[in-house]
Structure 1
């Protein structure tokens, strides 16, 4: 059995916390739908490991509560697994013996030395939807009818450098999920690197930014999943001790997310890679996202809400629109902070409408007026709650408005944006059934 960690894995081995005074312990490493965890036993309230879970009177007289290390190493006959971002949660005890469970955010495979992967010099994540948007492929196939043969060639396409810190990496992966099945995955990853080690979240934030652009491009929930990581003090060494440069370690995230299914029917990208200037357009988006994060975050998050009423969607999107209008008044129009803060909802929506007029398949003036009425109707309890159909269509048009605004900012021609939105099923108007 290789040193792997797949969903359903259960392995028994030793736990190391990199403190030479810590007593040895056998633990069980598990990867379930709930996450990655190790089950840690203890033999009594004075046991060192009991101090990771118990507090106060439950601990023995000789034991003080101790913080669970943020980094642990699991080792068995199959290899080593470094657990990153650890915390204790859940235990069972009869006031003598007991067991507790330590959870981890990530597992880094194969690290058997004391290399601190709490911070890394490089991180790569697979971002769904990115390959289709870029229009690149690392997999080709050739079918020969007369000989009934199929030749598949997997060769990584050229990398796309967005900035000194961000590279889009076309690649491929070979998987054999079950006997008799071979799966070749054609994908693009985001890779960020830093000269000095940084926390995972700092490097992953850029990957999340690229993912957010994919969400706005086709308005479907995309994912960004860390896949490999590296540290400069963990080089690739051969048996003779020769340093062969940077070594990328496989990463297993605690929560595996399945990539979204391909959209049914025709759903165009609202903004296209080539028309926004390629890599330069991606870089502009990341700067734009930083400037308007208060506006974009709630709207993009709304795409991940499932099976909630229309009023919830509108309550989620509304603050994003308010923030966008406020920031446009303050940052683009030079309106003072206090005046922008005191501006009415209608003023803010009219400001957005001025930028997207002619780029959306509806009258922006009517949208601003109706959205003001409907959104105030759900914010103020003394007003009548608007009809469900009005809520749904104001929500739909508001999402379209923000997506169109981003597309125009990045360089999409207004006529092209309008044409694509007219063909986009996610932008279609809700109608009442007879």
Structure 2
């Protein structure tokens, strides 16, 4: 059986994409984007880890190519596969033919590409669950890649979270500034207030608030982020108002903050840690203080929180997603008066579109900086996530909560007070 024949055995109907292989076989529309299987090693990856993980391994290792698309942005191919590819379970006889054609050696496990993290169950060497040591290891693996690489992909704002597009033709920088303004306004910040930004990244929200007279402390588990952010604070002359520490949010000694922003951190916390997480943030606020939690969520609250294999092994080790309902419930059970929730998933799809565009424009420099395999991981993951937001398999939800005073007063206006 040829490679194209193997694909036909698991496809319900004609392939919607172009497939070519080392054995000369081919299938699918000639003018469509597609896959090229370069060697039997690719079959080994796919057969030992069926699904997204095996395909990703073959692609990142260079044993399979994506054709008709740029490696920085394979979105057109992924969208075509998601919309039109239908798979079926092969019959027992077809399974035998598949194994015989691929060879028994193709069923033996192979070493994955070096960009892959160890399986979740083997990460105990870095600590159990979401211990400080294990969280620091997971964050460092993803965020301590290269500040130069992030500058090329994220753009001048160095903001690695969903932007807010005020218009369809707004630039990425305009959209990121609008996002920070929305968070600032929802928190009701004023000059002289104290803000804690947990998981602050490179400090874009820290600097946005400090420019407006707010005293800000940002904390991150990434040493490279902290160094970059502190330098940016000095360069802007904001040192008297802003500070970024390489510190776990659980170890912040200060209390009595007027507001806390948590932008893109909850995905790393772990659902079982929500009570402790929101409890600690609640304890850091003064009565009447506000929390804005901005994170990726699922569109429902029933599925397992653990990330899919590709994301868990290559992008966010130990990351977990759940529905916004579970986040709101955890906040309420902590004592927060939840005042507003907003789904911005379309905006995240647009953000990822623009990040992929940046990666494509700077592809050669990015490959020189982090290597082709890592650059391909980023193009694949961002394009796949863009598709997920567009198809409503993942969402981005902001939840605003207030710590009421002893009388239950949250001291908020009768109607929403922000624009955007």
TM bucket normalised to smaller: under 0.3
TM-score, with structure 2 as normaliser: 0.25
Task: Report the structure, 1 or 2, having the larger helix content.
Answer: 2
**Taking CA–CA contacts closer than 8 Å with sequence separation of 6 or more, which of the two structures ends up with the larger relative contact order?**
2
Task: Report the structure, 1 or 2, having the larger strand content.
Answer: 1
Max Rg structure: 1
